[in-house]
Amino acid sequence: MKKIIVPVDFSIYSENALKTAAFLAKESQAEVIVVHMLELSNAIVNQSESYAQQETVFYLKLAEKRFNKFLQKDFLTGVKVTPIIKHFKIFSELDQLAREENADLIVMGSKGTSGLSEMFIGSNTEKVIRYAHVPVLVVKEIAITQKIENAVFACDFSDDDVTPYLEAKTFFEKLNCNLELVYISTPTTKFKSTKEIEEKMTLFFNKINEDVSEISKVKIISDYSVEKGVLYYANKSKADILTVATHGRKGISHFFEGSISEDIANHSKLPVLSFKI
């Protein structure tokens, strides 16, 4: 990784995201681009009256002062940090910024289980994931500050999962992190025999150019929902991070034969990393 973007609102959650970005930056010698988005209205910014212009300057100066203080963290020592202030809170702009900066990753903080709507239901995080063409790492109450050992990629071995899996594999290889594949079988999915599942996995492994003998390492979990199955296995395997594939602007991916709700991201205590289908 060369550049990591972190949007901050000065909360403890965005500080956790910044800590995570700093750790990853040190691991890969990357630059961290920290973005704060003001909520100035068009009326204030576009008014020509001098008092309106003065008000805009006042808010910008206030934000700069708070921004600079927020960035005075010991964990940022030795990290190249570039602060950016945007006038509007339009999170689709983060993708534009990521393209302009040729960024590799966006890291965001989240309240996680403390608020079910905070993650994907009409939230800022959902907006970033929908628009971002780069992976988005959502960090919960605990920042990533040490080596990631084990990652779990929830997969149904469809064609949609090929590109996200390959990108995830490359991402975690650079971090020397083990990546496990897990398939969740639920009562609501179309039934498949063991033979049919194995055939589907074989086709998938051929498409990703991996040895089909590695299929034996795939974990197949049966549960009443995909969410429960993924979280159960993540806890059992002592995973450090969960990985999912998303359809972007179409909303969070229904990447299993039934569907997967945003509950995985809402209820997971682990960081969640999304890759675009």
Residue ranges of the domains in the chain? 1-146, 147-277
The per-residue pLDDT for 39 is 65
The per-residue pLDDT for 80 is 95
Q: Which CATH code is given to the segment(s) 147-277?
A: 3.40.50.620
The per-residue pLDDT for 73 is 93
Q: Whole-prediction pTM value?
A: 0.84
Burial class (CB in 10 A: 0-12, 13-18, 19+), 61: exposed
Residues composing the chain: 277
Using the structure block, give the residue that is written with the tokens 């950016």.
Answer: 84
Domain 147-277 in the same topology as domain 1-146? yes
* 8 A C-beta contact, residue 256 and residue 226: yes
Distances (CA, A) of 27 to 121, 174, 175: 32, 9, 8
Q: Give me the residues of the chain with pLDDT under 70, please.
A: 39-60, 88-90, 112-123, 189, 248-266
The per-residue pLDDT for 60 is 67
- Beta-strand (E) ranges in 166-256? 178-185, 219-222, 241-246
The per-residue pLDDT for 49 is 57
CA-based R_g, the chain, Å? 20
CA distance 125 to 146: 24
- 1-146 placed in CATH 3.40.50.620: yes
| Span 176-186, pLDDT tens digits | 999 999 998 88
The per-residue pLDDT for 86 is 80
The per-residue pLDDT for 58 is 58
Contacts of 37 (CB under 8 A, 6+ apart): 7, 9, 85, 86, 88, 89, 90, 91, 93
3-class DSSP assignment, residue 112: helix
The per-residue pLDDT for 122 is 43
The per-residue pLDDT for 252 is 44
